[in-house]
Chain A
Amino acid sequence: QSDVPRPRGVSLSKASLYSPTKDFTCFDGTITIPFSYVNDDYCDCFDGSDEPGTSACLNGVFHCTNAGHRPQNIPSSRVNDGVCDCCDGTDEYANPEICSNTCEELGKEARAEALRLAELYKAGGHLRLELIEKGNKKRNEMAEQLSQLENDKTEAEKIKAEKETLKNDLEAKENDALKVYREAEELEKQKKLEEEREKTVKEAMEHFERFDSNSDGELTVDEIKVANVFDKNKDGEVDEEEVQFFFEGHEKMDKENFVTTTWPLLKPLLMMEQGMFKPADDEEKDPDVDGEAEEHQADLDSEYEGNEEDAGDLELQEDNEEQESDSEHSSTYDEETQKLVDEATEARRQYTDAERTVREIESNIRNIKQNLEKDYGLQQEYATLDGQCFEYEDKEYVYKLCMFQKVTQKSKNGGAEIGLGNWGEWAGGDLNKYSAMRYTNGVACWNGPSRMTTVNINCGLETNILSVTEPFRCEYKIELSTPAACDESSPTQQHSSHDEL
């Protein structure tokens, strides 16, 4: 094949475009030049097509045949630059002695590698078939489960409706019976409030009179400036800001305004001085830290298992708390009322149970639907891997990949697990979508983006992690091998097994 006459650097398929008996027209059609200008080491064509065998055109392409191995196209700028780019050495024809022909050797290696891969894919292909069968089965089971759950849901909703009616009836009766008690309670509360208010006014007036040094019934700025209790920031003087704070912009305060405006602001300061009220700082610090930690933990949880089931649980908890506080003060009812209350309580409990059952079923349905919507590969070959976790240890960390769920990293020196991403999407590109997975939205990096992980998937007889690296800051890369990827018809497999000449 290589004995077809053609200019240097031209592939067999393009040989016919270079005819020595005719003028040469650039591929882009713009210029026609004598054939002697082809490969004369001067760039005439804008598209570089007149210099396939020299470095004259910046945008040119040099073709090397590489007999015994794969042919190759390299940029013209690599021709005669002193670096051997083609295994046949033809790109360095100006100094042929610097490159030896390594194509045979490389071709042999490549063929051996292709053979190894073919065998691997063959062996892996059997395992993959099993995975496909299991995957399909799993999906069928899930579909069955789903229809069962749909039935259960209808049933459970019916029960819920019944229980709701019952509960409403009994609650109406209970309500009537409790009305008397509630009114009495309300009166008692009003009375207490009134007493409280009187006490406040009295206390406020005592202080008002103390500060009102000229006893004219009005407090002025000058009057409070001498009272150091108004020195809120404790800098030794009562400044404009502090006056503004306590007087809310007024120049003076009568008794009424003092009670409603100034006193509530002043009282905590007085109490603090008397040692009755500790400043918030010390006390709050620790709980605050705990609070943050909990919040953080909650964040993590919802990040990894961010489905609505959790939210449901929380609601239930709240319900329970309400009930408890309700029953707390129900100590002194008469017997009949007590019976009505008990019945209503029981009806509420039953309703809550029925409601929970419906929610649980709905949650299961959602989960299954979500899983059914997941893309487990062309033939469900990845379905059984969902939820399976694989670990990898390096010097500093233990990495864990839970397929279709999340990726985490844990330092061997202790510390919390750090999320490197949650299942996002297949990311192998158009050519082979299922050759890579992307896990996104991990814990944010300091001063940077959220962590994310790309999992490159290759054919192997076992599913395990080969390596974990962090090529870009906060962007992790996992090399995973699995029989699920041993698809003999996949484009990458075709590429690597059919490229020898």
Chain B
Amino acid sequence: VDRNNFKTCDQSGFCKRLRALKPEKSQYSLNVDTVIVHGNVLSAEVVTVDTESEKKTVLWHYALKLSALADGTFRVELDEADPLYPRYRTQLALDGEPKPDGLKLVSNEQGKLTLINSQGHKVIITSEPLKFEFLDLAGDVAVVLNENSQLLVEPLRVRREKEDETAWSENFKSHHDSKPRGNEAVSLDISFPDADHVYGIPEHTDKFSLRTTSSGEPYRLYNLDVFEYELDSRMAIYGAVPVLYSHGAKRSAAVFWHNSAETWVDVVNYADGTVVSSLVNLVTGGHKRRVDARFMSESGIIDAFVMLGPSPSDVFRQYATLTGPAPIPPKFSLAYHQSRWNYVDEADVRGVDDNFDAHDIPADVVWLDIEYTDRKKYFTWDAEKFPHPAEMVANLTAKGRKLVVIIDPHIKREAGYFLHEDATDNGYYVKDKDGKDYEGWCWPGSSSYLDFFNPVVSKYYAERYRFENFPGTSKDVHIWNDMNEPSVFNGPEITMPKDCRHYKPPQDGQDGLASFWEHRHVHNEYGLWNIRATHDGMRLRSDHKYRPFILTRSTFAGTQRYAAVWTGDNAAEWGFLAVSVPMCLSLAASGVSFCGSDVGGFFKYPEAELMTRWYQAGAFQAFFRAHSHIETKRREPWLYDPATAALLRDANRRRYALIDYWYTLFYEHSIDKLPVMRPLFQHYPKEEETFTIDDQYLLGDKLLVRPVVEPGVSSVKVYLPGAASHTLWYDVDTYQAHAAAGWLNQPVTISKIPVYQRGGSIVPRKERVRRSSALMADDPYTLIVALDHNKTAHGSLYIDDGETYEYRNNKYIYAKIAFEPNVMTYTFVNDQASYPTRSWVERIVIAGIKTPPKTAKLNQGDKQVPLQMTLHKGNDVLVIRKPGAIMALSWSIAFSY
């Protein structure tokens, strides 16, 4: 990375200004006489007082709103009571208005207000200095706001004459930011008593568990296109999700900082050796379990959601409830994707497609990067290289495969290009500080950027995706929105200048600076507006029949509702393979479960061992796509030596065998809102050892994965959690059971990465791996039953057509599968729902069986069929041969001993 291109906190005006500000006492106080509690909302006036002078004159008036929301969540909003111009409120992050909860004022005495929600969570507001304490159900303080007096809302002001120029504009390198509104930053500190660690605020290349920042840079949240980004860094990269989770053995809690401006986050963990002891001494009672954080944003209002858990799953769910879960993705998108910058022409695409079959490697998607276009004009094709796109797509879909093409948000400024001409004529582009169409430099050369904040523009853009407007595409062509931070090669920090102007709905009396939003207000949200318009367009093109797949690079709170995310332009190095796990863990915890890294690394060339390990790791990450830079050597699996190609084939086959497990996980995510990829502590929240583990993870609550991310190893350390509950972990390759007892040394070979199935779980597999996942739709299942120490196990299975929204009309199956010593059952959760699948059960493998049953009998409908069984592997793996149960209907198998 060229660090000179990107600001440090000191080079970012407000960060430098705010970070230096460490008042002993907060200036903010609540005017108790103004408190109104109505519905689920407390509103009151907050003022700042000049504490320097004797008279205590009021400096500024603010409007406070505290709302109680469903599921242990509170929202604190603080805006100016009467701002000079409206301050920006982030628009798209929330999945609609949050659901309210009841709120009651319990007491109001001695400057302290006590409130309680209908679940029993209390909030204590101290009026002077202003402080918010949120109590868990046990009555202990879980979250405190403004404990460290770092609450700040810089009021908007008219520029005084002779005022220092530096407050009203900033320079970075050769770029000038005119800052027409002056300073308007906001800041808030949050304390998490009893917390051992904090997590979240992706996207960074740092550890999953966040580190104390006192002696270095804060974590930065500012969506940026960072060329050759570096590892172990708190620098901002492509994504910014301002949610912070705390966890300790006692509880989990979280804060979502609802703000789309440039944001920096400081973290102080009191258990961290680097935290100065004087700070620790400040904490009463001398207990050292506590983490403090501070959000600082350049603009907007204070809008913080406090989530009280108390478990990790609870806080993850509470956040995903606010910003919405990912909808069920089209099934193909959970399979293997083959990409490269670039597959050069139709013959190349055909060759890649054919080679997957020639080498019997399953693949679902071929991708086209920017070179397919007519000289970087999106929604067009290079007529020489791609003269027959429809035919090319048909060739792919004949084998159940799909195509993804890239559409970036920069628009080539070229006379005669319809998009440019429409945008110019109709004023669809983002404007520069003087109100003219902003012009930057990107792939096509001189480019402008659509202003998706204008609903007319978003609608226009959405319509470009109609099949008739984008000839050659069909329902099987999906979209990749890259460069949407937005990336501007010649802009400050390779993005758009902050004083560019975005659309704001016209309102009476709002002119001048009040008539538009500046890019600084909305920056981190820009990509979300982009993919939302794409999502609308892709639904529009099929009359809302088919589910779209979109990949985005820019990421913000709420992105998961529209798109999958990948970790951008990584490199073929072991460190980048390793960091793909904590990066996706952090994103998944922050709502974005559909995450992956470029398999093999984007820059440079992965030698056989690295490539093998990356495929093996990628096969167990949600978004599984190989991709590479145009200047690197070609690296489709068959281009490696035959032994390596066979290992890559095996990795892909593992993915395809579990495709229905993945699909079920994503369905369950859409219902229960829990991450698909989970940190160990989510399910073992009392095991302190798990709090910092970020090189292994859980897929759902059933599989534990520890990818091999080190070269030349013959064994790796794996932590098996759940000793207290006598958990068993079955090696999925051998069915060997390990009793959970912490760290285990697991031997590995080049063909093995450690994956374990939890005792007590049932995982569906499809072992007839075909050319693409679509061709496996009707194939039979193998059910892997891993018994716990009570000889029971539970699982689930979701089935639908894999591509339409018909599941919303009850055209699906969601079944619970339960195994008990005497009976195994397959029953539908929703009796109203059904799907006419032709799949059946071809095999049931029961691992960990000590006393095998003598007989097994299938009951389905009015049929009763005796089943054959064989014992394997030291007599503890029982295989039921070809039960033949039909998955479209419920069934049970009775055992006798």
Chain A positions within 8 Å of B, measured between CB atoms, are: 40-42, 55-56, 58, 75, 77-78, 81-83, 395, 445-449, 469-473, 475
Contact = CB atoms under 8 A, between A and B. Distances in A.
A215 to B, nearest CB: 51
Given A40-B882, A447-B631, A473-B631, A77 B842 contact: no
A77 B773 CA distance: 12
A320 to B, nearest CB: 46
A449 B633 contact: yes
A36 to B, nearest CB: 12
A81 B348 contact: no
Nearest to A57: B768
Contacts of B779: 55
B881 interface: yes
B769 A42 contact: no
Contacts of B843: 42
A469 B345 CA distance: 11
Contacts of B633: 448-449, 472-473
Given A42-B882, A471-B351, A473-B633, A78 B771 contact: yes
A395 B771 contact: no
5 contacts: A75-B360, A83-B400, A471-B351, A472-B634, A473-B631
Contacts, number: 56
Interface string B677-705: 00000000000000000000000000000
Nearest to A446: B631
Given A77-B360, A446-B631, A41 B842 contact: yes
Contacts of A75: 360
Interface centre among B351, B398, B400, B770 (most CB of A within 10 A): B770
Contact of B399 (A41, A83, A446): A83
A314 to B, nearest CB: 36
B36 interface: no
B839 to A, nearest CB: 13
B631 A77 contact: no
A287 to B, nearest CB: 32
A475 B631 CA distance: 12
CB-based closest 10 A-B pairs: A81-B775, A472-B634, A42-B882, A447-B631, A77-B770, A55-B768, A81-B770, A75-B360, A448-B631, A83-B399
Contact of B398 (A58, A83, A470, A473): A83
A115 B95 CA distance: 68
Nearest to B776: A81
Contact of B348 (A58, A82, A471): A471
Interface string B776-789: 10010000000000
Contacts of B842: 41-42, 56
Contacts of A448: 631-633
Contacts of A40: 882
Contact of A83 (B348, B775, B882): B775
A448 B633 CA distance: 7
Nearest to B635: A472
Tell me if A's interface is mostly helix, strand, loop or mixed.
loop
Contacts of B767: 58
B631 A83 contact: no
A473 B633 CA distance: 7
B113 interface: no
Contacts of A56: 768, 842
Nearest to B630: A473
A447 B360 CA distance: 32
Contact of B771 (A81, A470, A475): A81
Nearest to A475: B634
Nearest to A55: B768
Nearest to A83: B399
Given A40-B882, A78-B770, A83-B771, 10 more contacts: A42-B882, A55-B770, A55-B779, A77-B771, A82-B775, A83-B400, A448-B633, A471-B348, A473-B632, A473-B634
B384 interface: yes
A470 B776 CA distance: 35
B351 A58 contact: no
Nearest to B345: A469
Nearest to B770: A77
Contacts of B653: 58
Contacts of B360: 75, 77
Contacts of A81: 770-771, 775-776
Interface in B744-786: 767-771, 775-776, 779
B331 to A, nearest CB: 15
Contacts of A42: 842-843, 881-882
Contacts of B630: 473
A448 B779 CA distance: 44
Interface centre among B398, B767, B775 (most CB of A within 10 A): B775
Given A473-B631, A473-B633, A77 B399 contact: no
Contacts of B347: 469
Contacts of A82: 400, 775
B366 to A, nearest CB: 15
Interface string B392-416: 0000001110000000000000000
B307 to A, nearest CB: 46
Nearest to A76: B768
